[in-house]
Amino acid sequence: MKDKLCVMSVFGTRPEAIKMAPLVMELGRRTGIRSLCCLTGQHRQMLDSVMEVFQLKADFDLNIMQQQQTLSSITCRTLQGMDAVLEQARPDLILVHGDTTTTFAGALSAFYHQIPVGHVEAGLRTWDKYSPFPEEMNRTLVGDIAELHFAPTQANAANLRAEGIRGEIFVTGNTVIDAMKTTVRDSYRFGVPELDALDFSARRVIAVTCHRRENYGEPMEQIMAAIRQIVLTHPDTEVVYPVHFSPAVRECVFKMLADIPRVHLIDPVNVVQMHNLMARCYMVMTDSGGLQEEAPALGKPVLVLRRETERPEAVKAGTVKLAGVEQKQIVKLAGEILDDPAVYHTMAKAVNPYGDGNACGRIADAIEWRFGLRREKPQPFDPQG
């Protein structure tokens, strides 16, 4: 007989690790839960840096990453590796996060072993199965497998209900806000020469990330052209762009921005460095999902470099503007934020709809309630308090 509920968190990329790390830690503090951590290693270097930051050690590591890996190879290697792990650990619940290929394959493996699945950051939708690709279908398919759905917002929960999803739905807030409680510090030193040399009080620093598959090619060239124009027409700005290691991304970015003054193209930074960069920057331009949630918590306006977003709450709240992928529109919206103080302050002061820093506690409470370790079902997250 088990003396504790065994909960295994499965993740394999940097974004998943950032959002799952505080949950793994919270589960580890619960006396009735045995918290296990299984890494797929879909991303290797960037994943390891997050584990180091949060001082987490994996109980299992599939180490699946290969050069020029494909979606099919990631899925197959994860499924094959998970067989042995699940046979050995025999967890009572598998937790997966969000929308990666690791997420889908981890949930599918749990289903094959008839182990319940909890989906953290459930219910995000664009309703276009090819955008973002493959994320939209990954999270939709996991929604059909999962029995516990941890939706960050009421809108995410409504998406799940509209689809007739089976199982329990809990509105928890987003775990990334929990992570930021420990990563952002006033006295922080980056340890990256280009960042430590910046004078954030003298220049308006724009933090940029851009790496999504659907932006490869012409869309990314349009985005880079827009960044180039913004910097050249605003002499008091500087851009910091941690460039993803993808060859397709690096070729485009360095070709179009390497010769532009006040544009700093640096290697990817760890989660603590990125959070503190956002805390000190003036605004954020990104095609990332996580940064749309993180930056508003720090009072930073965000331009989303995509045609759509599965995070409409921030657009509705006014913290985010959907800029698309065309140079003219990106330049126009960036100019409004940079040139009109009223626009800037309206975005910076809007209420963050994504969390209050207690999402991990709500998820742990929900798991305990579902498995009979707690009497009362947790109250849902409400951004209005």
Q: Which residues are catalytic?
A: 99, 121, 135, 211, 213, 244
| Closest by Cα among 74, 53, 54, 56 to 65 | 74
Rounded Cα–Cα distance for residues 249 and 299 (Å): 28
Strands of the sheet with 117-120, listed across from one edge? 60-61, 33-39, 5-11, 93-97, 117-120, 148-151, 168-171
DSSP state of 7: E
* Pair type for strands 93-97 and 5-11: parallel
Other beta carbons within 10 angstroms of residue 16's beta carbon come to: 29
Rounded Cα–Cα distance for residues 63 and 145 (Å): 24
Rounded Cα–Cα distance for residues 127 and 97 (Å): 19
Alpha helix (H) ranges present in 146-289?
Answer: 154-162, 175-183, 193-196, 218-233, 247-257, 271-280
